Structure formats: C-alpha cells, structure tokens
Amino acid sequence: MKDDQYYIQDIAVMRSMMERSTKFMSVSGLAGILAGIYALAGALIAHQYLYTEGNLTGLVVTAISVLILAIGSAVFLSRKKAAKRREKAWNPTAKRLVVNMAVPLVAGGLLILIVMANGLFILMAPCTLIFYGLALFNAGKFTYEEIKGLGLIQIALGLLGASFTGYGLLCWAAGFGLAHIIYGMYIHYRYER
C-alpha cells in the first residue's frame, strides 16, 4: 500500500494539470511594470502636445508607440516566462486569453475612431480606459484572477475621466501608468520569485 504522501501528490498533479490547461500563467509582472513606465512617458509627451501645440498627429503617434512597446514587451517576457516553465507561450490557454480580450478591445478601438471622427477628443482617453478595463476583467477568468481588480480600477478611472473633463489624461496616466506598475510589482513579487 502506498503512503499518504503519494496520494496527496496525486491530487497535486490533478490540480496543477487542471490549472495549467485552463489558465495562462505566463503573464509577466515585469511586462506590466514596463507598460506602466511607457504609459507614464507617453502621458508626459501627450501633455506637451495637448497644452502647447495641439498636435493631433503627434498625439496619435505617441499613443501607437506606447501600445507597440507595451505589447512587444508583454509578448517577449511571456515567452521567456513560458520557456522557464517549460511550456509554449502560444498554447490553447493563451489563445483563449487573447480572444477574450480582443472582443472588448476591438469594440473599444472602433468606438474611439468614431469618437475621434466626431471631434469628441476629450472622450478618447476615458474610452481607452473603460474598454481596456473590460478586457482585463474578462481576462481574469483565464489568467491570474487578480487581474480582475486591475480591470475594475481602469473602468472606474475611465468613468471618472469622462465625467470630469480636463482630467482625462491624468486618469489615463493613473490607470495605464500607475495601476500597471503597482499590479505588475504585485504579480512579480507574488508569483515570479
């Protein structure tokens, strides 16, 4: 007859297999911190454009650069983390995560283009926050559950920014910058050391 430890180990195997095949655990806390730093830098540049030159092209270029840098770091660091866990980064759980985030993000992106076309520029930053928050809240089911909290913070900041015009960019910096850095640090220290 086998001892207790053997059966306890059996249950541990079952648990870890279930988690491994339903949740994408290679999300990187470090990538969150980096995304926050890019966002803060981007917000500073955007501030210059908004209050000195009113240059819309510069603003859009800044936003796209921040986005590309953030996604690039996330993909790179996730792959590294997955390799460390001896998994492939682009596995079925990753696909599920991306699809579930893509729906609110694409809807939000299209809405922002419509908002822009109608000249409602003050609503752009709050819209990015709200839809990104919805995407994160959705993502919480497919990766670290704590991400749900980050999603709620983004949604709240988006609504705040939309109601107090003039604070849109500040809320954006708090959400994409500060909140990312704090959550990134939490994930990093809790799960990556």
Partner 1 sequence: MKLLIEHLHKAFESRIRLGIMSVLAVNDSLDFNALKDYLDVTDGNLATHLKSLEKENFISVKKSFVGRKPNTRYFMTKAGKKAFDDHLKALEKLIKSRR
Of 14, 44, 103, 120, the residue at the interface with partner 1 (CB under 8 A) is 14
User: x/- contact string, 22-51, with partner 1 (CB under 8 A)?
Assistant: x-----------------------------
Distance separating alpha carbons of residues 181 and 60, to the nearest angstrom: 23
Q: Is 21 in the site for partner 1 (CB under 8 A)?
A: yes
Computed on alpha carbons and rounded to an integer, the radius of gyration of the chain in Å comes to 19
Q: Is 102 in the site for partner 1 (CB under 8 A)?
A: no
For residues 130-145, one letter each, b for 16 or more C-beta atoms within 10 angstroms of the residue's C-beta and e for the rest, the string is bbbbbbbbbbbebbbe
Shortest gap between Cβ of 185 and partner 1 (angstroms)? Answer: 29
Residues near 41 by beta carbon (within 8 Å), at least 6 away in sequence: 66
8 Å CB contact between 181 and 30: no
Q: Is 65 in the site for partner 1 (CB under 8 A)?
A: no
Q: What is the contact surface with partner 1 in residues (CB under 8 A)?
A: 1, 4, 7-8, 10-11, 13-15, 17-18, 20-22, 86-88, 91-92
